[in-house]
């Protein structure tokens, strides 16, 4: 049972480039989340989804877009990467009583 | 809006001593509350959760937390620290629908031999 799988695990982008982070869960969870983790700031919610075809903004949504076309997948897109988006990104899924996390994607924007 | 405040970004205790990590929450509706642990270069693992049942919640690895509505607190404790408990700990809150989970800034726990 894989749980929550994030792809890729590491990526280096140049300023202005775009990319998509993929999150896949095999637990049939309704809720999925994207967070970023920065030193001293904990995890901040970027966007989340309460079901297939739905998305909502979290605490720090600017510069990111998401899509949930299939229940098991939640994509996070950066249209034009900026150095301020250098971070570790975590995806999580939940059935409603506690979230399961992926291993993270370390993104560096130079 | 919901939020959590973790008091103390770094806590250091001796091996065998009591561990106390503090968390206060703000929520306009009855909350769900969680504690997560993160070991270096890993994702987050759920330690325990409060979902409006018993106010004293027991989790994995000997940790427990008590929900105190009057104090809006959900502090994490462990009677005797072990070296393997060294990690970062996060408190989190959501509403009863769990549609949005908001995390605190984390507390790094160090264990002295």
Residue A97 pLDDT exceeds 90:
no
**Chain B interface, best mutation among A30, A97, A100, A104, by max B CB count within 10 A:** A97
**Chain A interface, best mutation among B10, B88, B97, B99, by max A CB count within 10 A:** B99
Token pair of A82, please? 């900026």
Q: Is A45 helix (H, G, I), strand (E, B) or coil?
A: strand
pLDDT class for B31, splitting at 50, 70, 90?
confident
In 3D space, the residue among B93, B67, B101 whose CA is nearest the CA of residue B5 turns out to be B93
Q: What is the pLDDT of residue A27?
A: 94
Q: How many angstroms from the chain centroid is the CA of residue B44?
A: 12
Contact by Cβ (8 Å): A109, A85: yes
Query: B42-79 pLDDT, tens per residue?
Result: 889 999 999 877 889 999 999 999 999 999 999 999 99
Tell me the nearest-neighbour CA distance from A104 into chain B, angstroms. Answer: 6
Contact: B101, A97; criterion CB under 8 Å: no
Instruction: Tell me what the pLDDT averaged over chain B comes to.
Output: 92
DSSP state of A20: E
User: Which of B3-12, B48-57, B90-99 has the highest average model confidence (pLDDT)?
Assistant: B3-12
The whole-angstrom separation of Cα B108 and Cα A94 is 25
DSSP state of A85: G
Q: What is the pLDDT of residue B53?
A: 77
Contact by Cβ (8 Å): A16, A105: no
The whole-angstrom separation of Cα A43 and Cα A8 is 19
Chain A residues with CB-CB distance to B40 below 8 A = none
Q: What is the pLDDT of residue B100?
A: 87
Mean pLDDT to the nearest integer, A34-40: 93
Contact by Cβ (8 Å): A89, A68: no
Chain A residues with CB-CB distance to B105 below 8 A = 40-42
Contact: B104, A42; criterion CB under 8 Å: yes
Query: A40-89 pLDDT, tens per residue?
Result: 889 999 999 999 999 999 999 999 999 999 999 999 999 999 999 999 99
């Amino acid at each position: 049972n894989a749980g929550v799988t994030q792809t890729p695990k590491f990526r280096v982008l140049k300023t202005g480039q775009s990319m998509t982070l993929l999150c896949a869960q095999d637990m049939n969870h309704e809720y999925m989340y994207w967070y970023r983790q920065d030193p001293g700031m904990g995890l901040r919610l970027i966007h989340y989804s309460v079901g297939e075809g739905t998305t909502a903004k979290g605490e720090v949504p600017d510069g990111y877009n998401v899509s949930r076309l299939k229940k098991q997948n939640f994509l996070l897109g950066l249209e034009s990467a900026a150095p301020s988006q250098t971070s570790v990104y975590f995806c999580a899924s939940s059935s409603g009583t506690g979230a399961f996390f992926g291993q993270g994607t370390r993104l560096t924007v130079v | 809006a919901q939020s959590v405040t973790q008091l103390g970004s770094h806590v250091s205790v001796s091996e065998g001593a009591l561990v106390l990590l503090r968390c206060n929450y703000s929520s306009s509706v009855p909350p769900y509350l969680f504690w997560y642990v993160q070991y270096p270069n890993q994702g987050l693992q759920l330690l325990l959760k409060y979902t409006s049942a018993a106010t004293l919640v027991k989790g994995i690895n000997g940790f427990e937390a008590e929900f105190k509505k009057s104090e809006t607190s959900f502090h994490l404790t462990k009677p005797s620290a072990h070296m393997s408990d060294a990690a970062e700990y996060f408190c989190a809150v959501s509403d009863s629908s769990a549609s949005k989970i908001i995390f605190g800034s984390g507390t790094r726990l160090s264990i002295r031999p």
